[in-house]
């Protein structure tokens, strides 16, 4: 009995402590380094944050290079698909062209009218929201986390918690910022909880992701009047996001209230980040 | 000249598993997500090569590849590195205590490796603010285990080519 226990001890020591042929580190040392990294992950100091940003930026750029061939392949596949749909596209484009021609004449008139009205009220056109655009650099969806990397970071004054939009629709928030890249946590992720308002009922709720395409609408009052098709907007209650950014519409599924998003999160190439309200800056 | 060429070919083939490990880590495909289920390829890769040809898979490289996976997937630094090192540790232990190399032996001993690695994964994440779908983690473990023989056959064939 004692001999077999000794054997196990020898085997464990051999596995963990011996470096073996062509091994520079023993497993035990690397395990200790990994645990130390995990422990210092929550420590927020400037040198550590700088180091983390450098490591992450370097890995994101390398990942972009490695993903190049597969992206190229997907591009070629898409091009082949586009060519096979050429005839249908041509007919569709002809129809669209006719519609656009008729719209242009009306648009010219509207432009003229708009210029005259602006002159009249001496309006200074100013967007109430300060936006910055970014390109999706890496979109590596893990089965556990829904997020992607964008190509701007501290260099464009990006901060943690800022709202991210696809066009005018809310799709997520910034959770990690490096020098030249940032991570966007999508609203479908398990860790995403966004305060929202349902229109027209005006009920407040929390939009909670759970990994699938349809996030849940939670913490609604018991006597709510939420119906299928009601629109969901950010409520701005937590004070970080602007209120009234459209998110999606209510969809009832198996007795649960889910939200069908206005944006297709798999098809996003460019995003807008809401830096702050210009009114707040003033 | 022929010996030099043979050595060159041998070295290229020998580093291929390591190149593959780094490629899948950087490409973000260490976990292949097939909508209904997912498979952790890096676990299988590390387990097989540490068990069968430890010289091709340095522990330091496994650690770095884990760190890369953590960064690409947005997890706290060290989670995947620790899990992969645990897989490597179990493989190294199994290598010391077993004599015969068979698929069944490898496959069965892969169960504790997966269980311990995922337990470590679970514990590491529970200390951070990140929540994950633990059902997905469980199905991932089951399908990684089920997928092992296929990659085992492929890697064994590859190993024969290297040794040849």
Which residue of B lies nearest to A178 if distances are taken between CA atoms? B71
CB contact under 8 A, A23 and B59: yes
Which residue among B76, B85, B133 sits closest to A144, beta carbon to beta carbon? B133
Per-residue pLDDT tens digits of chain B, which is 164 residues long: 666 666 776 677 778 888 888 888 888 776 776 667 778 889 999 999 998 888 888 888 999 999 999 888 888 888 999 999 999 999 988 888 887 778 888 899 899 999 999 898 888 888 777 777 778 888 888 989 998 999 899 988 888 877 76
- Chain A: give the shortest CA distance to residue B155, in Å: 21
Is-contact B42 B147, C-beta < 8 A? no
Average confidence score pLDDT of chain A: 80
Interface contact A144-B132, CB threshold 8 A: yes
What span, in angstroms and rounded, lies between the C-alpha atoms of A71 and A59? 17
B74 in A contact zone (CB under 8 Å) = yes
What integer pLDDT is reported at residue A265 of this predicted model?
A: 83
Q: Which residues does chain B have within 8 Å of residue A7's beta carbon, measured at their own beta carbons? A: 97
DSSP B77: T
Partner A contacted by B14 (CB < 8 A): no
Test mutation, B15, B78, B137, chain A, max A CBs within 10 A: B78
Q: Are A218 and A206 in contact (CB under 8 A)?
A: yes
**Residue B158 to chain A, least CA–CA distance (Å):** 21
ipTM: 0.83
Cα-Cα-Cα-Cα dihedral sign, residues A116, A117, A121, A125: negative
Q: Which long-range contacts (CB under 8 A, 24 or more apart) does A215-221 make?
A: A215/A187, A215/A188, A215/A258, A215/A259, A215/A261, A216/A256, A216/A257, A216/A258, A216/A259, A217/A250, A217/A257, A217/A258, A217/A259, A220/A257
pLDDT score for B82:
92
Radius of gyration of chain B (CA): 16
Q: Chain B partners of A172 at a C-beta cutoff of 8 Å?
A: none
- What pLDDT score was predicted for residue B81? 92
Domain A130-282: homologous superfamily in CATH: Rod shape-determining protein MreC, domain 1 (2.40.10.340)
- What is the CB neighbour count within 10 angstroms for residue A265? 17
Domain locations along chain A: 2-40, 45-84, 89-125, 130-282
CB atoms B89 and A27 under 8 Å? yes
Q: Which helix (H) or strand (E) holds B103?
A: helix B103-126
* pLDDT beneath 50, residues of chain A: 1, 123-126, 278-282
Q: Measured between CB atoms, which of A31, A175, A183 is closest to B85?
A: A31
What's the pLDDT score for residue A134? 87
Minimum-distance CB partner of A25 among B60, B72, B76 = B60
């Amino acid at each position: 009995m004692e001999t077999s226990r000794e054997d196990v001890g020898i085997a464990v020591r051999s596995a963990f402590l011996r470096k073996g042929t062509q091994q520079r580190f023993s497993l035990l040392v690397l395990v200790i380094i990994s645990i130390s990294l995990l422990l210092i992950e929550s420590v927020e100091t400037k040198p550590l944050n700088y180091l983390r940003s450098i490591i992450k930026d370097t890995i994101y750029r390398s990942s972009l290079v490695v993903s190049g061939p597969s992206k190229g392949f997907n591009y070629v596949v898409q091009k082949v698909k586009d060519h096979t749909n050429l005839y249908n596209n041509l007919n569709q484009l002809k129809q669209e062209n006719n519609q656009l021609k008729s719209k242009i004449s009306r648009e010219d008139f509207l432009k003229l009218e708009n210029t005259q009205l602006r002159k009249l009220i001496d309006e200074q056109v100013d967007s109430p929201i300060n936006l910055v655009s970014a390109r999706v650099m890496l979109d590596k969806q893990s089965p556990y986390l829904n997020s992607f990397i964008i190509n701007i970071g501290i260099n464009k004054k990006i901060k943690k918690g800022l709202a991210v939009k696809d066009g005018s629709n809310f799709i997520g928030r910034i959770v990690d910022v490096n020098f030249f890249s940032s991570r966007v946590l999508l609203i479908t992720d398990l860790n995403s909880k966004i305060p929202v308002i349902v229109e027209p009922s005006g009920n407040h709720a929390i939009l909670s992701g759970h990994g699938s395409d349809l996030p849940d609408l939670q913490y609604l009052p018991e006597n709510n009047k939420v119906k299928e098709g009601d629109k969901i907007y950010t409520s701005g209650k937590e004070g970080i996001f602007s209120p009234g950014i459209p998110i999606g519409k209510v969809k009832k599924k198996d007795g649960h209230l889910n939200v069908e998003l206005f944006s297709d999160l798999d098809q996003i190439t460019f995003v807008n980040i809401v830096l702050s309200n210009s009114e707040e800056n003033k | 000249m022929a010996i030099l060429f043979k050595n060159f070919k041998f070295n290229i083939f020998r580093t291929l598993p390591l190149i593959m490990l780094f490629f899948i880590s950087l490409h973000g495909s260490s976990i292949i997500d097939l909508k209904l289920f997912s498979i952790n390829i890096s676990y299988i890769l590390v387990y097989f090569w540490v068990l069968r040809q430890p010289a091709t898979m340095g522990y330091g490289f496994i650690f770095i590849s884990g760190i890369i996976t953590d960064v690409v997937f947005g997890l706290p630094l060290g989670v995947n590195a620790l899990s992969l090192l645990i897989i490597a540790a179990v493989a190294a232990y199994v290598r010391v205590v077993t004599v015969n190399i068979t698929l069944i032996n490898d496959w069965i001993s892969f169960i504790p490796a997966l269980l311990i690695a995922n337990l470590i994964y679970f514990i590491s994440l529970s200390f951070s603010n990140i929540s994950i779908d633990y059902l997905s983690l469980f199905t991932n473990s089951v399908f990684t285990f089920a997928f092992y023989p296929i990659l085992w056959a492929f890697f064994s064939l590859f190993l024969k080519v290297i040794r040849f």
